[in-house]
């Protein structure tokens, strides 16, 4: 997709440095995540190494510079009876915000989701990121009654299974 001087395209390995920088900016805003360039580079490389059938990492490029990114990956939903998409890592470099780049990235992910038969999209947004939440609301995203819980699998709970 090419709108004016912005090109929306699939990310490539050559974009890794720019993608890591964008994630550093994003994770510095989100209280639940800590910027860790080596970890983010490793995760991005795993994302890029797949076949592209179950995940997609899109970037926005202006004058040869990656200025935004967003990702989607598929999950299976029993509620939907089929594949759904988890959207993550939506970030536009600060200087480039307010120019429709995020909107175009999200449209590209939604197009990918339609082509892959996804029946629902979902994402997590930081409670304190009002601008981000407003962005999603303007694009038709709705809040739910669900909350997000997380746990690292290496951490054992106080109650063991079978008790």
Q: In a structure prediction context, what are the per-residue pLDDT tens digits for the chain, which is 163 residues long?
A: 555 599 999 999 999 999 999 999 999 888 888 889 999 999 999 999 977 889 999 999 999 999 999 999 999 999 999 999 999 999 999 999 999 999 999 999 999 999 999 999 999 998 888 999 999 999 999 999 998 898 988 866 665 555 5
With CA atoms as reference, report the closest residue to 148 among 31, 47, 24, 34. 31
* pLDDT confidence of residue 128: 87
Architecture per CATH, domain 2-138, reads as 3-Layer(aba) Sandwich (3.40)
Determine the pLDDT at residue 1.
Answer: 58
pLDDT of residue 124: 92
With H, G, I as helix, E, B as strand and everything else as coil, classify residue 72. strand
Domain residue limits, the chain: 2-138
Euclidean distance between CA atoms 97 and 10, whole angstroms: 20
Q: How many other CB atoms are there within 10 angstroms of residue 23's CB atom?
A: 22
Q: pTM for this structure?
A: 0.88
In whole angstroms, give the CA distance from residue 23 to residue 120.
25
């Amino acid at each position: 997709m090419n709108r004016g001087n912005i090109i929306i395209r699939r990310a490539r390995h050559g974009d890794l440095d720019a993608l890591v920088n964008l994630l550093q900016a994003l994770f510095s805003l989100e209280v639940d995540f800590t910027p860790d360039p080596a970890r983010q580079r490793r995760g991005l490389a795993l994302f890029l190494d797949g076949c592209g059938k179950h995940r997609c990492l899109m970037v926005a490029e202006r004058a040869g510079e990656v200025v935004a990114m967003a990702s989607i990956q598929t999950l299976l939903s029993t509620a939907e009876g089929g594949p759904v998409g988890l959207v993550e890592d939506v970030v536009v470099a600060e200087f480039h915000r307010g120019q429709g780049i995020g909107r175009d990235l999200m449209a590209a992910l939604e197009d990918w989701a339609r082509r892959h038969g996804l029946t629902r999209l979902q994402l997590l947004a930081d409670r304190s990121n009002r601008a981000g939440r407003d962005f999603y609301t303007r694009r038709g995203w709705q809040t739910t009654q669900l909350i997000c819980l997380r746990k690292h699998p290496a951490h054992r709970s106080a109650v063991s299974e079978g008790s």
